[in-house]
Amino acid sequence: MKFYNWLIRYRLYVGIAVLALAIVVNITSGFWPSFILYLVGVILIAGHFFFGPMRLIQTHMEAGDMEGAEKVLATIRYPNLLFKPIRSVYYTLKGNMAMMKQDFDGAEKMMKKGLDLGMPMKEAEGASLLQMGMISMQKNDLRQAENYIRSALRKGLPDKENEAAAYLQMCSIMMTKREFRAAKEFFRKSKALKPTTPQIADQIKQIEKYISRMPG
């Protein structure tokens, strides 16, 4: 695994070195002895531009090293060369990074690019729509937030934590609109999922203190 990660990190340079070696072999021994070297070099260089270092980014994110993930993401100089599904993930990750920095305009721009390209899985599309809804809430655009979050729920979300968060956001929107019956129903759905994420669980506890006193 370490060798594989090393190869992904340096495959452009390795590919160039292999091509250089192929040229030397071609000159000294002919084309066919150098053919395999040409092939390996081209595959390595093509992989660098068309697949990018997504495996390395995933490794950093799984370890909670967002700074490391951002540094690797910054090494992608030509994102338009990435294959379409990978390019979609690239823009989604860029949006996540911008959101963490509270750059909501930048996050919205990147997330829209990812959605426009199409997500590889419906659940991933749902998660992106949920994040777009949260961005809209941060910008106090509740109408757009509601549209995004309802779309996220229709598309499907990857796990119960995301689903609970979506219902909780809808509960908040309904309370702001003074549609208390709908707010209670969304709250019930969120609580029924028994989320374990501390932030979501804490929000449920806070809302539970006063939601029963609401009319409707």
Torsion of CA 85, 88, 93, 99, to 10 degrees: -160
What is the structure's pLDDT at 124? Answer: 85
Name the nearest CA neighbour of 212 among 195, 194, 187, 193.
187
Whether the per-residue pLDDT at 121 is higher than 80: the answer is no
**CB atoms near residue 212 (< 10 Å):** 9
Interior/surface letters 144-163, b for 16+ CB within 10 angstroms, e for the rest: bbbebbebbbebebeebbbb
What are the φ/ψ torsions at residue 83 (nearest 5 degrees)? -60, 150
Show the DSSP H helices in 156-179 as ranges.
Answer: 160-176
What is the structure's pLDDT at 216? Answer: 67
Q: If you average pLDDT over residues 193-203, what whole number do you get?
A: 93
pLDDT tens per residue across span 52-65: 998 899 888 888 88
- What is this structure's pTM? 0.83
Give the CATH number of domain 78-156; options: 1.25.40.10, 3.40.50.300, 3.40.50.1220, 1.10.10.10.
1.25.40.10
Three-state SS at 184: helix
pLDDT tens per residue across span 68-117: 999 999 999 999 999 999 999 999 999 989 988 989 999 999 999 999 99
Q: If you average pLDDT over residues 30-56, what whole number do you get?
A: 95
Q: What percent of the chain has pLDDT over 70?
A: 99
Are 99 and 66 contacting, i.e. CB atoms less than 8 angstroms apart? Answer: no
CA dist., res. 159 & res. 147, Å (int): 20
